[in-house]
Amino acid sequence: MRIEKILNKFTIKGIDYSPRTGGKAAMTIEEQIGAVGLCWKVSPAGWLLLFVEVLNDEVAKRQLIQVMLGEANRMMQNWRGTYPDKALLALANTAIAESSQLFGAICPECNGSGKTTNKHRMTRNCPACKDGRVAWTNETRFAHFAQVLPVPYSRFNRYKPILEELGQWLSDGRTAALLAIERQSFAA
């Protein structure tokens, strides 16, 4: 039923378990799998990103990291200077995090609630975020990148153009996957 979760998130018709008295039948699970299979070739990375974003699928995340490592390596072929393999992993992880959490990362201070309690047990708006999310900025990207590859901020700025290009490539793949499944669902 995992595919159904993705389809339902984007308001695409899915399985209806209640009895129907008429009208067009909903898609069966086989039809859903077939629709995803037909659309998979449009953007495998976009589909993997959807599985990571919607389902928190660890297997899909590992596969997506492998795809992203290859893409990052391709983008850095003309890179001047050296870089470690951990740089590619840091780029992949950061691009995946940013593309799968479009409204920002969940705030670690309020755990996404947007509210904190002070020492006098007074509830206040969280000073670190907006509505429980920390927006993606250069500083938050650097913090995420530095979890895998702890480098100075000046060195991170050298990787930033590749990170932006990777993030755009991944977002484009996600959009292509969504458009492909919507076209497929309208055809059904």
Query: 88 CB contacts (<8 Å, ≥6 apart)?
Result: 69, 72, 73, 76
Residues 112 and 38 in one domain: no
What is the tally of structural domains in the chain? 2
Question: Same domain, yes or no, for 57 and 128?
Answer: no
**From residue 95, how far is each of 58, 74, 161 by CA, in Å?**
16, 15, 12
SS (H, E, C) 104-130: CEECCCCCCCCEEECCCCCEEECCCCE
Determine how β-strand 105-106 pairs with β-strand 115-117. unpaired
Q: What is the pLDDT of residues 15-52, one digit of tens each?
A: 444 555 555 545 565 665 565 565 666 778 888 898 88
C-alpha 162/C-alpha 158 separation (Å) is 8
Are 107 and 66 in the same domain? Answer: no
Q: Taking the alpha carbons of 22, 179, 105, 149 in that order, is the dihedral positive or negative?
A: positive
47 and 69 housed in the same domain = yes
Of the ranges 31-45, 60-74, 81-95, 137-151, which one carries the lowest mean pLDDT score?
31-45
- Range of the structural domain that residue 107 is part of: 102-132
Residues with Cβ within 8 Å of 136's Cβ and at least 6 positions away in sequence, in order, are 98, 101, 104, 105
More confident residue, 24 or 149: 149
> Is 83 in the same domain as 112?
no
Residue 15 resides in a domain? no
Is 19 contained in some domain? no
Claim to verify: residue 72 and residue 159 sit in the same structural domain = yes
- State whether 50 and 66 are in the same domain: yes
User: Are 78 and 124 members of one domain?
Assistant: no
Q: Which of 143, 144, 107 is nearest to 125 (CA)?
A: 107
What CA–CA distance (Å, rounded) separates 123 from 116?
6
Mean pLDDT of 98-116: 90
Q: Is residue 13, in this structure, part of any structural domain at all?
A: no
